[in-house]
Amino acid sequence: MALKTVTREFEGFLEDRKSRFLAHLVPFELFDSRLDELRKDHKKAAHIVTAHRRLLEDDRIEESGKDDGEPAGTSGMPTLRVLQGAELINCAVLIVRYFGGTKLGGGGLARAYSGAAQDAIGNADLIPFQKILRKTVSADFAGSSDLEKRVEGLGLTVLARDYTTDGVSLTVEGPEDRLTAL
């Protein structure tokens, strides 16, 4: 399973019997703030349905789909299934619905919400997901320069440098495969 993610927001759109569905695919860290913004910007919208998936530190996947007043199971879960099918992680879809005057029924709602989510994903620049980890490495004073060069060469980020009587201890962050190479 090759997981994918996004680094910025992408949008999608679907219209069905005059109901408009505006989908926003965002990185998970923007989920709460973007939901607040959408609620402020779309006060006349009937619903804002959400779904998200994220990887927890213990490698479990947290996921949810919320219907926001639509009939149970007709919007949040179909949107979540689209995220699952696209193998997306650490991202969320928020779909703003403007009611067009005609009820779509359970199947129609599920198709509309999942279609809007698929449109946003289709417009997205998906990138391979890499789990970011932290690691502490140490070296004596003589080897500290070599350690710094290896960290820089692997493209890792130094979060902290702690000097001790024996040398230096670096807390670094980066993709799991690069940390393993260190």
Q: Domain boundaries in the chain?
A: 4-128, 132-181
CB atoms within 10 A of CB 168: 18
| pLDDT at residue number 1 | 61
pTM, entire model = 0.74
List residues bridging with 94 in a β-sheet: 24, 50
Average pLDDT, the chain: 87
Percentage of the chain with pLDDT > 90?
29
**128 CB burial (10 A radius; 0-12, 13-18, 19+):** exposed
31-51 tens-digit pLDDT: 999 999 988 988 888 889 999
Is CATH 3.30.230.30 the classification given to domain 4-128?
A: yes
